Amino acid sequence: MKKVLKILGIFLLLFIIGIISIPFLFKGTIQDKVRYLVNEHVHAKVDFANLDISLIRSFPQASVVIDEFSIINYTPFEGDTLAYSKKIALDMSIKELFKNASEPISVQKIVIDEANIAIKTDSLGNSNVDIVRKQDDATETSPEEESGAFTFALDHYEINDSRILFRDDISKTILAMTDLNHSGDGSISGEKIILDTKTNTEASLNLDGTKYLNKNKLQLDAQIELDLENQRYSFKENKALVNRLPLEFAGYVQLFEKYTDVDLSFKTPSSDFKNFLAVIPETYVKNLDGVQTSGDFSINGIIKGKSDDTYIPKMDIKIASSNASFKYPDLPKGVKNINIDTKIKNETGLVDDTYINIDNLTFKIDQDSFAAKGSLRNLTKNMIVDMMLKGTLNLANLNQAYPLQLEEKVNGIVNADVKTHFDMQSLEKEQYQNIKSSGTASISKFTYASTDTPNEIKIENADVSFTPETISLDKMQATTGRSDLAATGTIQNLMGFLFAKQDLKGDFNVNSNVFAVDDFMVSEQESEEEVASTTEDETMRIPSFLDATLNFDTKKVFYDNLELQNTKGTVKIKDETAYLENVTSNIFDGGMALNGNVSTKAKVPTFDMALDLSKIDIVKSFNNLELIKGLAPIAKALTGNLTTKINLNGKLNENLIPVLTSLKGKALAEILNAQVSTTKTPFLATLDNQLNFLEIDQLNLKDIKTNLSFDDGKINVKPFEFDVKGIKITAGGDHSFDQNMNYNIKLDVPAKYLGSEVGNLISQLDQKEANTMTVGLPIGLSGNFKNPKINLNTDLAIKQLTQQIVDKQKEKVKGELIGKGQKVITDLLGNSKNQNDSSNANTNNTEETLKNTAKNILGGFLGKKKKKDSTKTKN
């Protein structure tokens, strides 16, 4: 007995040692299996933190746990995480551990915890799930190689606390399933497997910008029968709750070699009208608790037929309601007489033959009734829309009958009797001749308030008429903020704007008594994520959806702090840019003409303008126009009139005011007539104190022209001349918009104004010369206009004056000497002519005497006769 117990003890010890040691012995095999699967079949970076094997955790089966499993994409989704799971647990028979890396391993149970799966399709059709390696066509794979992976014979599987994201940039679809818990249990009935599945999740669905689900709770209890031999999957006793809408469905899907056979039916389990409210996206509905309903609502449908490259299953889906009503408990009004008769059908199996018929859609709120009827055909290619709208709708009643969760506040009465027929391709290609519309529509007492508009917009009345050729705005009276508008015109593509997301195109004539630009400019704020990292962007933006031409005539226009009167011209708006053409106005007691553009398309708005200001008041323009302050700070000291032509471009700030340091361009400025006041600027006051002879306050500047250019924050002034009471002044240089300056001024000053320093020099001149002689006085200006530095270069002026007087004296002495010499010669020549030539013997002696005498006299005037050099020896 002891021997038997000893043997049993040894076997038990070996068994315990085996249970403990086998995981260590076969851990490498499973790791090799995972790596083999990855390297042979997956084009992605697959990694895991740890792999653990236990024979105790799921005894008598082996348990394999993989921690922090991840799949990271290669290009074109480089670096994106396709899948991640905190833990994956696999249960399998112990014998599976003894298989080599190339043999398949059968798994009976799998549990996935805290998984994140992100499935993406980009705008080019690339999908990040396309990670299976493509086999070389020239290489044939053996059956053993093909089966060298995991196979599943599941009794149970779970996905816990997980998240799945599906994003398709082509269809603009985003589906997010969060807090996902899904489980399934399998049982074998003959040759068939039956899976009982339970799913709970919160789903968010966004289709092309519209939220149809927003963290809605979805539940699905489905029993699925799997006939693996015939590849037939049947749905039995299935119940779903989708966006509060209960559905029951049954049928099957069977896979064949060349096509798939589908036979599914679904219906609402009851006909309560609350089912209709449950269909409406949560964006537009509140809690349904306490809502009183009457009448019925039902959805039922059949999807049946084969699906292959040519055909889709035929379908017949009916949505119906008859004489229904509903009323929210906390709202004063209800919606009644609701009738819905809508069908979604495909009778041929060809996808292009799918159509939607709205045979009847009516409802009534108070005394207002509204009806719609029409069809949508050729849905997948070039959808054809045929619609009729008729009725009266008081928009204020909508808020009192239905809890619209909208940021906008809308009121007004809409009357419509419109028919329209068009195809989407014509809208997209702007072939408006193919759009057939007729009827009329009007709106009155309309108000609209939104975060996208600075002020409430009020339309007293507006009438629109529809014809096959065009849509006419026959009349509109509107106000917003301080502004009033009266408009008529034509709209080219209303349907394209409403249905194809095109820019609204039209031509309008607008008249206004008061037009304030800031009443129509919206502030664009960045998203919360961007605001967290950058400063808030509240830049005014030109609406991006406008492509319109406005001919306007406005009595008063307010732009920032400016008031313009009798403003006329044309504005063409397109691509967030306003093009101004032939704009004229009265401003600062003068006239203005303007051509150019303003663009808010880029993050920093820009402008490019040609501005002509004629005979404007200098004081008013300086006090109200930052541009004048920057271009000519000295204008602060002037009173009078100014004319200027400016061509400039640059950046705009958040209020669409030019950023002065960004300006580039040129200008021609002309002072027509101006007086100067030195007390209004330190620059002129300091200059006046240093130039006693120049009474700057008495200056009268008239018809002075100068050319300016500006770039890199500097204004360059080309030298120009003007005369002040006989003093010629030449000025030129540059200054910056921060008021720093560097100018050179030259004054042609009468010499007598230079004072005692030049008195002795001037005394050498006669009175007439002293009064008329001028000298250039250079003046250097630096510092800034508030604290100027003035450099009077009197030393250079005195040096120049001294040289002028010396040159004058030389000329004077030279003239006197030449005059005296001429007189002597004249006298001598005159006397020789009076002598008697009595004899030929004395003639030659007389001529020689005259020549020597003239030489001696000129030599005395022009310079002494050189002395003979006594050191020279005679020849």
Largest CA distance in the chain: 196
Asked whether the bond before 246 is cis by omega within 30 degrees of 0, the reply is: no
Dist CA 111 CA 394 (whole Å): 57
Q: Give yes or no for residue 169 having a pLDDT over 60.
A: yes
| Count of CB atoms situated within 10 Å of the CB of 390 | 16
Residue with the larger pLDDT of the pair 3 and 527: 3
Instruction: State mean pLDDT over 683-696.
Output: 67
For the ranges 279-288, 749-758, 790-799, the one whose mean pLDDT is highest: 790-799
Q: Which helix (H) or strand (E) holds 721?
A: strand 714-724
Q: What is the pLDDT of residue 54?
A: 74
Token readout for 377 is 């055909």
In order of 34, 58, 623, 693, the CA distances from 95 in angstroms are: 17, 14, 94, 117
Which range is least confidently modeled, 241-255, 590-604, 856-870?
Answer: 856-870
Q: What is the pLDDT of residue 819?
A: 60
Token readout for 84 is 């991640």
What φ, ψ does residue 110 adopt, rounded to 5°?
-140, 135
Decide: 484 and 513 in contact? Cβ < 8 Å: yes
Q: Which residue has the tokens 């106005």?
A: 585
Decide: 233 and 264 in contact? Cβ < 8 Å: no
Q: What is the pLDDT of residues 557-595, one digit of tens each?
A: 887 778 889 999 998 988 889 898 999 999 888 898 989
Instruction: Supply the pTM of this predicted model.
Output: 0.54
Provide the CA 742 distance to its chain's centre, in angstroms: 40
Q: Give yes or no for residue 374 having a pLDDT over 90.
A: yes
470-478: long-range contacts, CB 8 A cutoff, minimum separation 24: 470/432, 471/437, 473/506, 473/508
Q: What is the pLDDT of residues 94-121, one digit of tens each?
A: 776 666 656 666 778 889 999 999 989 8
Q: What is the pLDDT of residue 194?
A: 82
Which range is least confidently modeled, 498-512, 621-635, 657-671?
Answer: 621-635
| Count of CB atoms situated within 10 Å of the CB of 322 | 15
Which range is least confidently modeled, 73-82, 121-130, 197-206, 695-704?
Answer: 695-704
Dist CA 597 CA 580 (whole Å): 6
Q: Which helix (H) or strand (E) holds 583?
A: strand 577-587
Token readout for 494 is 């209303």
Q: What is the pLDDT of residue 141?
A: 46
Could you tell me the end-to-end alpha-carbon distance of the chain, in angstroms, rounded to an integer?
A: 170
Q: What is the pLDDT of residue 56?
A: 62
DSSP state, residue 869? -
Dist CA 630 CA 623 (whole Å): 11
Q: Give yes or no for residue 281 having a pLDDT over 70.
A: no
- The answer for residues whose C-beta is within 8 angstroms of residue 417's C-beta and 6 or more apart is 389, 390, 439, 440, 441
Q: Give yes or no for residue 533 having a pLDDT over 60.
A: no
For the chain, state the CA radius of gyration.
49
Nearest to 583 by CA among 601, 598, 605: 598
Q: What is the pLDDT of residue 63?
A: 81
Q: What is the pLDDT of residue 173?
A: 84
**At 64, is the pLDDT very low, low, confident or very high (cuts 50, 70, 90)?**
confident
For 666-686, b/e burial (b = at least 16 CB within 10 A) is ebebebbbbebebebbebbbb
Which range is least confidently modeled, 307-311, 410-414, 837-841?
Answer: 837-841
* pLDDT-above-70 percentage for the chain: 69
Asked whether the bond before 332 is cis by omega within 30 degrees of 0, the reply is: no
Q: What is the pLDDT of residue 584?
A: 92
Nearest to 33 by CA among 62, 75, 72, 73: 62
Residue with the larger pLDDT of the pair 378 and 798: 378
Dist CA 442 CA 418 (whole Å): 11
**At 301, is the pLDDT very low, low, confident or very high (cuts 50, 70, 90)?**
very high
Which ranges of 673-745 does DSSP label H, i.e. alpha helix?
682-690
Decide: 505 and 548 in contact? Cβ < 8 Å: yes
Instruction: State mean pLDDT over 81-92.
Output: 88
**At 519, is the pLDDT very low, low, confident or very high (cuts 50, 70, 90)?**
confident
Decide: 816 and 823 in contact? Cβ < 8 Å: no
**At 372, is the pLDDT very low, low, confident or very high (cuts 50, 70, 90)?**
very high
Average pLDDT, the chain: 76
For the ranges 471-485, 495-509, 642-656, the one whose mean pLDDT is highest: 471-485
Q: Give yes or no for residue 518 having a pLDDT over 70.
A: yes
Residue with the larger pLDDT of the pair 730 and 755: 730
What φ, ψ does residue 382 adopt, rounded to 5°?
-125, 85
Token readout for 389 is 């709208």
Decide: 723 and 733 in contact? Cβ < 8 Å: no
Instruction: State mean pLDDT over 486-515.
Output: 81
Which ranges of 266-325 does DSSP label H, i.e. alpha helix?
274-279
Q: Give yes or no for residue 783 having a pLDDT over 70.
A: yes
Q: What is the pLDDT of residues 229-247, one digit of tens each?
A: 788 889 887 888 776 678 8
Q: What is the pLDDT of residue 20?
A: 44
Residue type, 775: V
Which range is least confidently modeled, 133-137, 318-322, 392-396, 424-428?
Answer: 133-137
* Strands 727-736 vs 741-750: parallel, antiparallel or unpaired: antiparallel
What φ, ψ does residue 175 adopt, rounded to 5°?
-120, 120
Which range is least confidently modeled, 101-110, 499-508, 512-521?
Answer: 101-110
Q: What is the 3-state secondary structure (H, E, C) of 197-224?
A: EEEEEEEEEEECCEEEEEEEEEEEEEEE
Q: What is the 3-state secondary structure (H, E, C) of 7-35?
A: HHHHHHHHHHHHHHHHHHHHHHHHHHHHH
* pLDDT-above-90 percentage for the chain: 13
Paired strand residues for 472:
465, 490
What φ, ψ does residue 568 adopt, rounded to 5°?
-135, 155
- Domain-wise residue ranges, the chain: 21-132+148-171, 407-524+538-587
**At 872, is the pLDDT very low, low, confident or very high (cuts 50, 70, 90)?**
very low
Q: Measured on CA atoms in the order 228, 230, 232, 237, is the torsion positive or negative? A: negative
Q: Give yes or no for residue 137 having a pLDDT over 70.
A: no
Instruction: State mean pLDDT over 187-196.
Output: 70
Dist CA 556 CA 552 (whole Å): 11
Q: What is the pLDDT of residue 789?
A: 84
Q: What is the pLDDT of residue 769?
A: 65
Q: What is the pLDDT of residue 678?
A: 61
For the ranges 303-312, 730-739, 804-813, the one whose mean pLDDT is highest: 303-312
How many residues are recorded in the chain? 875
